[in-house]
Structure 1
Amino acid sequence: MTFDDSTPLRRLPDFVSFWLARLLTTSAFQVLSVAIGWQVYSLTHNVFDLGLVGLIQFLPRIALVLVIGHVADRYDRRRVVGIAQLLQALSALSLAHGVFSGGLTREWVFLAAFIMGAARAFEQPTSQALLPMLLPTAVLPRAIAANASANELATIVAPALGGFLYAIGPGEVYLLGGGCYLLACVLNQLLRPRPTTAAPAQAASLDTFLAGIRFIRSRPDILGAISLDMFAVLLGGATALLPVFARDILHAGPMGLGLLRSAPGIGALLMSLWLARHPPRHRVGRVMFMAVAVFGLSTIVFGLSSSFPLSLAALVVLGASDMISVVIRSAFIQLETPDEMRGRVSAVNMLFIGASNQLGEFESGATAALVGTVPSVVIGGAGTLLVVVLWMRLFPSLAKREQLVTQAH
């Protein structure tokens, strides 16, 4: 199929399929996160185990980061994404089997979480590298924001649905997650990415593995943006502790947990819809730093709150501010990276994101076990504010950056 940058509407069906697949995979991840978090805490009543879930999902990302980027750049991206989604579906269905057979254990859940973490480590960067092959460069910033809306829509609806279904039975949640992954796999295989001018496949070597890291190091603004997000969310993330807040502090039960997990998605969805129509154009560096500061302040408010409505509101603001950083960072990477390197660069970027999310969950659980749940969240929010101040000094060109792209690509 001939690709014509002047006719983006011809690529719309592919983008819709891609968007729906992203909606399904994020929905699956969210409903499974609610079920796994609540079930682990119910089995062990140990906040440290909640942190272990995040660590277990993050470890494969560290071990495989260089291989992931090579695979994403040298093999059919649709096939890589499909295999990863199939593995996640099978893991979810195995959890359903464990529930229905009455033999589900803490170790079984951890093993399934590890497999899903490894598969997701391949799926996310490869999927990111696939998006620019579907649309013209001119509409990519809007497409990134629109694609993010799929994530946030799922983040709103899926956790609440997961909490509701968990009240009926965890097996139903695992079946739903597995089904969503299977359907997303089918949709992704129907995509028709445009031909690229990428170099032919090469044998894996240390040089090809490290190319993505070298590229990011050569772009200080990109390095500053993704490291800012990593350390801010690593310190300020309270997601792993939501089961504790829902059960012991806010007394909201599993349905309340679903609503708490949905709240950041509400703010993020509203912001992503705004950014899809009004993408960041000016003073993008200052806007990103302000957004991360608001993220830290919202984290502190959530940690100190004992009111369920106030906690929900704080998480809504948290999600909206985080979305600004997500869109700016994603636009940096996609617009300034050659197609033949997008897989490796995206793999490194996803390592940063994984560190901020899954490793942040372990940090939250470990800190809560040492100093308590509320102090852990408040200290993390304060740490985020400190990171903002430090990064403005370490990356002054990023703080002063006016536009997303400084040169034509």
Structure 2
Amino acid sequence: MQQTSKPAPGGPAAAAANEGDGDPRDQLVQDRLEYSGRVGRFLYGLFPAVAIPAYMVLWQGNIATMLAFWMQFTAEGYFVYLLTGSNSMLAIVGMARSLPMVVVAPVLGTLADRVDRLNMLVAAQAAGAIVAAVVAALIFLDLIEPWHLVVGALLGGVAIAANFPARQALVMSIVGRKYMMNAVALHTTSIGATRILGPPVAGAVLAFVSVAWCYASTAVLTALAGLYIRRIKAPPVEMPNRRVSFVRDILGGYLYVLRSPQLRPVVITGVVISVLFYSHYQFIPAIARDVLLSPEAGLAILSAASGAGGLIGALVASRLDHIRRKGLLLFAGSMLFGGSILVFAQTAWLLLAAAMLFLAGLGSGLAQATNGALLQLLAEDHYRGRMGAVQLVLWGLTPIGAIPMGILGDATSSSFAVGLAAAVGLGLLLVLLAAAPQIRRLQV
């Protein structure tokens, strides 16, 4: 008889035992389904996590926060180039915003496992709002300098690096194991939706008002989201032994991953996706111009196809929480992601390229949601902040793949570099599947 791999120490099995059969969250979902109208029953049937009031508040706050993030991201790039006319400064500001994901996130993820996570999340919202408000004030007063934008991007990145681990760990404590996949997928969906909506909203504010008011509006939106989520009554979390040093706790998070036969392949899969698959986004404009010979319309079609696929992939993942073999689900989404990119890199036909990017987005949304859910489901409660930080670090690894791919693309072609990275990634995933059979047997 086939055996399932053992859970991480004190993790899923212990959590499941604690929740038991009489979980009040199940009753909340059933009440919503029973007493809502036809539309409500349909929505709660698709997304049961939003029937839990605390999660609904957290999810709505996340939508507002991510809308503000993408608006500010758009305004930042626009204003940096307007102020300096320098591509190098664009890269510096972008790196300043991304750097905390890799450098500071492990520290802040550890902090999320030692303090009240809701208070930390609200503090991160306040910090992000203050940074945006200060930049807006400097622009209003005509005192802004390029270095202000670099510092603002860096501090804004730190706020995001504090926000994400606390939020991810809080989701698990609110919705429980049964609805975790649904909740993480909905969070992923909100990120994708606001990524599509945020830039046009920012563009409208930039066109009809000013860049200062765009920054000011993101500050207000972020602050209001923080005040809104303050209403949440989160269940208490058992904190680790505070006599352990903070540095030892940071290292303990990495050791926890390395020692877990379940978490290791999940994280390795995330590294492959981030470094070798996600980097293709940087080269879509070049492929649209040089290979598909459609620099404007082609870029718009490809970007829309990729974004739509990502949204649908996350929505599909939200409906697959009943599938216990989530290791195979992660592998399937990752292979679809990489395989579609490989075909995309070989075609000179715009419609086929768009179809492949749609499928790549579908696989990406499925893999990303499953990866995030597994990191939380497989961890003990007092490690979940650090697992949120691990996920953020994985996202921050994308430039590691993009830089050598860019050099190779200059020497050969963008499509060759993207295709080679996808092929290498697919090969590594197949090796991982053979070398770590526990990912095939993983059931949560």
Q: CA deviation at 1:14?
A: 0.4
2:376 matched residue in structure 1: 334
1:273 matched residue in structure 2: 315
Aligned mates of 1:181, 1:246 — CA distance in 2: 35
- 1:125/1:346 contact within 8 Å kept: yes
Which residue among 153, 156, 166 is the counterpart of 2:196? 156
Aligned mates of 1:119, 1:109 — CA distance in 2: 15
1:59 matched residue in structure 2: 99
Higher radius of gyration, 1 or 2: 2
- 1:222/1:329 contact within 8 Å kept: no
- 1:268/1:322 contact within 8 Å kept: yes
Aligned mates of 2:79, 2:57 — CA distance in 1: 33
Which residue among 241, 266, 290 is the counterpart of 1:225? 266
Q: Do the aligned partners of residues 347 and 202 (structure 1) sit closer, same or farther apart at CA in structure 2, a change above 3 Å counting? A: farther
Q: CA deviation at 1:308?
A: 8.6
What secondary structure is seen at the aligned counterpart in 1 of 2:119?
Answer: helix
- 1:70/1:204 contact within 8 Å kept: no
1:106 matched residue in structure 2: 146
User: What does residue range 7-406 of structure 1 map to in structure 2 within 5 Å?
Assistant: 7-10=25-28, 12-44=52-84, 47-168=87-208, 169-199=210-240, 201-202=242-243, 204-236=245-277, 237-239=279-281, 252=296, 264-279=306-321, 281=323, 284-296=326-338, 298-299=340-341, 315-356=357-398, 359=399, 364=402, 368=406, 371-372=409-410, 375-376=413-414, 378-396=416-434, 398=436, 401-402=439-440, 404-405=442-443
Aligned mates of 1:141, 1:183 — CA distance in 2: 27
Aligned mates of 1:32, 1:153 — CA distance in 2: 15
Letter of the 1:146 partner, please give it: L
Q: CA deviation at 1:64?
A: 2.7
Tell me: higher relative CO, structure 1 or 2? Use CA pairs within 8 A at least 6 residues apart. 1
Q: CA deviation at 1:123?
A: 0.9
Q: Give me the CA root mean square deviation.
A: 3.7
What secondary structure is seen at the aligned counterpart in 1 of 2:179?
Answer: helix
Q: CA deviation at 1:122?
A: 1.1
Letter of the 1:61 partner, please give it: M
TM-score, normalisation: structure 1: 0.81
Q: Do the aligned partners of residues 234 and 106 (structure 1) sit closer, same or farther apart at CA in structure 2, a change above 3 Å counting? A: farther
CA deviation profile, 1:311-330 (whole Å, cap 9, x unmatched): 76655433321111112212
Q: Do the aligned partners of residues 344 and 284 (structure 1) sit closer, same or farther apart at CA in structure 2, a change above 3 Å counting? A: closer
> What 5-or-longer segments of structure 1 have no aligned partner?
none
Instruction: Give identity over the alignment, percent.
Output: 23
Q: CA deviation at 1:80?
A: 1.0
Q: CA deviation at 1:130?
A: 0.8
Q: CA deviation at 1:159?
A: 2.6
Aligned mates of 1:386, 1:41 — CA distance in 2: 35
Aligned residues: 398
> What 5-or-longer segments of structure 2 have no aligned partner?
1-18, 29-50
Q: Do the aligned partners of residues 277 and 403 (structure 1) sit closer, same or farther apart at CA in structure 2, a change above 3 Å counting? A: farther
Aligned mates of 2:390, 2:217 — CA distance in 1: 30
Aligned mates of 1:381, 1:136 — CA distance in 2: 40
Q: Is 1:5 aligned to residue 46 of structure 2?
A: no
Aligned mates of 1:103, 1:378 — CA distance in 2: 45
Letter of the 1:335 partner, please give it: L
Aligned mates of 2:198, 2:301 — CA distance in 1: 10
Aligned mates of 2:137, 2:407 — CA distance in 1: 31
Letter of the 1:295 partner, please give it: F
